[in-house]
Structure 1
Amino acid sequence: MNELVLQPILKLGVDLGFSCALAGVAGLLSHHLYFIRGFHVLNATKITCIHLFAFALLLARAAAENGFLPGARSAVAIFSSYLAVLFLSIAIYRVAFHPLRRFPGPFPAKVTKLYGPWLARNKRIGDEFRVLHQKHGHFVRVGPNEISISHADALKQIHGLQTACSKKNNASYEAIQFRGEHNLDSLTDHAEHRQRRKVWDKALSKATALTYEAETRIVVKSWLDQLERLHGASVDTSLYAKHIACDNMGRIGYSRDFRNIQGDGDSRMFDMIEITFRTMSKLGQLIWPLVLLFSLPRFGLQKKFEELSVALVDERLKRHNDSEDLHDIMRLFIEDFLSSKPQAFWNRNILYADAQAIMVASTETIACSLSFSFFFVARDAALQRQLREAIAPAYGRTLPGEFTMADLQGIEFLDAVINETLRLCAPVPLNGPRSTPPQGIEIGGTYIPGNVHIYTPPHVYHRNPEYFQYPDEFIVERWLTRPELILDKRAFLPFSLAGRYDCVGKSVALNVLRLTLAYTVWHYDFELAPGQSDSAFMNGYVDQIVVKPAPLKCIFTKWSRPGERGQGSAVEAGKEYPGAVQDDDLPELRQRFGRAQSTR
């Protein structure tokens, strides 16, 4: 409350009506002199404390003059007048005078950020955005100062190397910090991000990623050993996808074996890794409660997650001094930290912050993609056999009796299966917002004002019939023999685009997916377990910023080697698998695969 107005209010106490009117004026001034100017989400704690203090002061003065109960009623009436006028002024401005007032969208989204939690109420915010775009077109106002865009021209302009858009003045990133330091993804300063990104790029480049191959192979072999021990029992493949991703993260990130696949790991680890995104997803795009929450002492799983990141870094620092033979992501971070002139890691808290980023980014997205990949391969035996035939030439080519990342990278059919999985089931349905430059930008003939937060949700692009024919169907051939099914390849953005904020771990993620799928398909036939339906899996996921797939029960049976196979167990190399899509098949896709994916 404006301090100049507060004092007269406190002195009056006699004329309640006049005091309420004066409080209303204070609310109007607060909006036009402060709240309407700039971004104040990061000041949520300070703003809340100031208003609570002002109310306490008002209550104390009114109670001293009129007694507690009459004074409390007067204080509530005066403060409510202030808040009522403040929020009414905000609502009128957003509806009638805001630069985004002419953009289509749900009316509540224009008025309040509380529409974000409403969209997230069913934990399917990606689907909600898709419905909004189907109704309103390429540009939808999804918040008072937020626009979601599904126009293909927007992708390069917003995410490309030459973009004027940025992460600055964006609380979705700036609120995420640990002891005052941001991780790579939440950095908004271009210069600092560029320096930090150089170290990350070196740690996760294609060449460096190959040095992690032995560790990833150990993880995959542990997965195969576990299947051997289970002897054909029903396996929750979604759970093991998380185990694989997490154990791989431990090995290539910290030279640490978490032993989740063997069942010896910390059962709370997944909950710890998911906790921040889970909280954010419930809030939709509403960030200020998160700012308030992060200003409080940590507790529960959030505290455990941060303690884990600290312990991993501290342990890795000790091991770094004892051995130079450890080759992991943290090695390059630590080398920069210990150097005489650090390039990016100036203090230990930055190591802790990026250690958290490694845990989240290297686990959740890979686990999601791997789970959905298992699903699409398990439900189509013909596709599974064709995939086995496609990878056969790579088996033992470089390393006897093994697959290597280098040999798998050139297999088109394997990459087509992965690409179609990532298209149909984007691990991150909504990407993080960007802020338009002060001068604004023009996309497809539509002008977006400056300092507006804009989204380009992958789930909306990937499921848009303007860009992909039969967008709700899993069709591997669109990446191989049926390129006409891709109407605009720009709309495929599973790892963001080639900009300064593209996915730094793309090579590592693809390597894990390729190796895991190749080894699993080569050694096992697998299918959906009895009672496991397509719809239960496809409709059972939870959107927690990164999609959390539903349980997926599969049966794995050891595959007989060539020469031992029975008739019809595999198709000949080079032939189309029986389920391959032909021109005449396209209208029958929904009958062939069912309608379980119609909304996902």
Structure 2
Amino acid sequence: MAVLEFIGDQLLRPNRAVVFGLGAIAGLAMHHGFYIHGEWHVQAPAIVVGHSLAFAALFIGSVSSSFAGGTLTLESKFVFRYPGFAILGYLVALFTSITVYRLFFNRLARAGFAGPVGARITKLWHMWACRGSKNHLVLDRLHRKYGDFVRTGPTEVTVFHPDVYWVIDGPKAECVKSEWYDILDPNLSLVTARNKFLHQTRRRQWNQGFTTKSIAQYEEKILKYVDQLDVCIEQDVAAHRVSDVRNLFFWFGFDAMGDFVFNKPFNMLQDQKWHHIIVLLQRALSLLGPFSAVPWLIQIGFKLMPRVWILKDWFDMVAWCEKQMHERLQVPEDKLRVPDVAHYLMEDAKTNNFRKESMMWLNGDSLLAIVAGSEPTASVLLGIFCELARNPAHARKIYDEIQGLDIRDARSLSRAPHLEAVISEALRFYPVLPTGGNRKTLEHGVTIGGTYIPPYTTIVAPRYSIMRREDCFERGNEFLPERWFEKPEMIRNKAAYAPFGTGHHSCLGRVLATDDMRLVTARLVSKYHIRFPTGEDGHGVLGDLRDQFTANPGQLHLVFELREKQ
């Protein structure tokens, strides 16, 4: 209070009031002339540096102005004499204008979308609210309080209506990916491509690696890691140890994906320990829990402080992925028994003579493929086995129906209805993208469930909440696989079910991921009884889940016991 009184007293002095006013005019001009037009998140580092230099120049000018004598205009003398008041006026006017505009005058304010006052002013509110990486729970609480359409940012609406997926990603969608997807800038990748034409062009390259023939070839690789996973569990059984299933499933996912992308695994199942680069990756991804809400702050951290704190882990991990891709480029294609994804991506790079842009695509795709291909599979497997231990009747049904099927053939296992239902229900109940996948409306806006979303608005569609809606799934907060084949009436609105996305933005690896889940589940259920160790109930899988764009579930420990041979 004393500080405010002092500032007010100082501003009563005419010269200082003039300087403060000039700064205020500059602040208003910046907001209304620049910041309310277009996107500025990628330029955020330059804006910070530019402002810092300008403020420093004012203070330097205050020293040199004393030697300028009469060569300066009266206004310049005032500004250089009182630089602190010029800066104060600029910042007060800028942030006051931003706050007033966002609360009362921008498109969402005029449309009357409800939401927390703090969220309407700044996404820093949201960052603080999900500082524990629990954005899925934050949004779920907002849904219960405000309804199906909630203003969760100055230009952001979170939509809980089940029609949202079709509108934002369907064949006639008039949306693009949001600012978040510039996270790899300047590198490029299929997952982060915001330009629709570039995305479609790159997806055609990826499609070559996901043909029926290609997936059948990859299945041979997957089986090797299913065998290694089984060996790890066998060793736990022989030693009467409780199995750390979270470690095992993540090791499996990353080993299989390393082979899938780079034609060499991380050897974590073989060594039974985390690879150092995956430890860095896990630490780096923890940034995405709270900071996904503020992509401009991510850009500032990445561009201005790349070697600070766990930001260093991110860049070390990116450098490692780039190194792996460069090493992969040196491997003769005739030495590969089974082509990997890099094989198809490199064809495009070769066609373009490995130009800089082609290498940026290769580097970005290698990183995103490792993350997007391994963590989701591990996450859903944890959900599946948590539920099998919680309700052994599901395991018994799967065991009975896979008798006579080839448990080393994913196509054969697709004929096991309860296994398929358990996987489908796990994808619903344990979504791999709890709240991620933001889109942005274009110049005409969109209408969802009768509600118009204005142009240039970010739309969040949280799967965690939508796929639990009672009006879409009867007893939506319960794990009930029978809804997928025995009791279809329990699915009241299938539009709410989009675990792999919709349309051209749907997950390319959905078939491969589902095959992984079939093969692992069938192998372990056919060989073992599964239960929780004494004192545990699997609550931590969801209870400790962290929403880091992809889901990062909590710990799961299980006891495996060999079935008696029949």
Please give the TM-score of this superposition, normalised by the length of structure 1: 0.85
How far off its partner does 1:276 sit? Answer: 4.5
Within the candidate set 301, 326, 329, 1:293 is matched to 301
Partner residue of 2:152?
142
Partner residue of 2:49?
49
Partner residue of 1:226?
232
Partner residue of 1:511?
515
Code of the residue aligned with 2:405 in structure 1: it is A
Number of aligned residues: 536
C-alpha separation between the residues in 2 aligned to 1:474 and 1:199? 38
Within the candidate set 307, 329, 333, 2:319 is matched to 307
Indicate conservation of the 8 Å contact 2:120/2:151, yes or no.
yes
Q: Structure 1 residue 274 and structure 2 residue 291: aligned? A: no
Partner residue of 1:398?
none
Partner residue of 1:527?
531
C-alpha separation between the residues in 2 aligned to 1:447 and 1:508? 37
- Listed one character per residue, the Cα deviations across residues 506-548 of structure 1 (whole Å, up to 9, x for unaligned) are 0111111110111011111111111223333431222211111
Within the candidate set 117, 123, 131, 1:107 is matched to 117
Cα pair distance change 1:195/1:298, threshold 3 Å: same
Unaligned runs of 5+ in 2: 1-12, 68-77
Partner residue of 1:551?
555
Worse overlay, 262-271 or 242-251: 262-271
Partner residue of 1:31?
31
Indicate conservation of the 8 Å contact 1:63/1:71, yes or no.
no
Indicate conservation of the 8 Å contact 1:42/1:288, yes or no.
yes
Partner residue of 1:202?
208
Q: Structure 1 residue 431 and structure 2 residue 439: aligned? A: no
Indicate conservation of the 8 Å contact 2:65/2:80, yes or no.
no
- Listed one character per residue, the Cα deviations across residues 186-239 of structure 1 (whole Å, up to 9, x for unaligned) are 111122111110111221234421111111000000011111122231111011
Q: Structure 1 residue 496 and structure 2 residue 488: aligned? A: no
Partner residue of 1:251?
259
How far off its partner does 1:76 sit? Answer: 2.7
Cα pair distance change 1:73/1:521, threshold 3 Å: farther
3-state SS in 2 of match to 1:246: helix
C-alpha separation between the residues in 2 aligned to 1:271 and 1:90? 40
Code of the residue aligned with 2:222 in structure 1: it is T
Partner residue of 1:592?
none
Code of the residue aligned with 1:163 in structure 2: it is A
Q: Structure 1 residue 416 and structure 2 residue 421: aligned? A: yes
C-alpha separation between the residues in 2 aligned to 1:277 and 1:301? 9
Unaligned runs of 5+ in 1: 1-12, 396-401, 563-600
C-alpha separation between the residues in 1 aligned to 2:496 and 2:152? 21
Q: Structure 1 residue 380 and structure 2 residue 380: aligned? A: no
3-state SS in 2 of match to 1:140: strand
How far off its partner does 1:345 sit? Answer: 9.6
Partner residue of 2:183?
175
- Listed one character per residue, the Cα deviations across residues 114-168 of structure 1 (whole Å, up to 9, x for unaligned) are 122122123210111111112111111000000111112222111101211112x
C-alpha separation between the residues in 1 aligned to 2:130 and 2:120? 17
Worse overlay, 536-545 or 152-161: 536-545
Code of the residue aligned with 2:247 in structure 1: it is L
Indicate conservation of the 8 Å contact 2:205/2:345, yes or no.
yes
How far off its partner does 1:413 sit? Answer: 0.8
Q: Structure 1 residue 122 and structure 2 residue 132: aligned? A: yes
Partner residue of 1:213?
219
Q: Structure 1 residue 460 and structure 2 residue 472: aligned? A: no
Q: Structure 1 residue 391 and structure 2 residue 395: aligned? A: no
Q: Structure 1 residue 357 and structure 2 residue 357: aligned? A: no
Same amino acid, percent of matched pairs? 26
Partner residue of 2:489?
484
What's the RMSD between the two structures over aligned residues?
Answer: 2.2
C-alpha separation between the residues in 2 aligned to 1:204 and 1:235? 33
How far off its partner does 1:430 sit? Answer: 0.9
Greater share of helix: 2
Please give the TM-score of this superposition, normalised by the length of structure 2: 0.90
Output aligned runs, 1:72-83, within 5 Å.
Answer: 74-83=82-91
Code of the residue aligned with 2:133 in structure 1: it is K
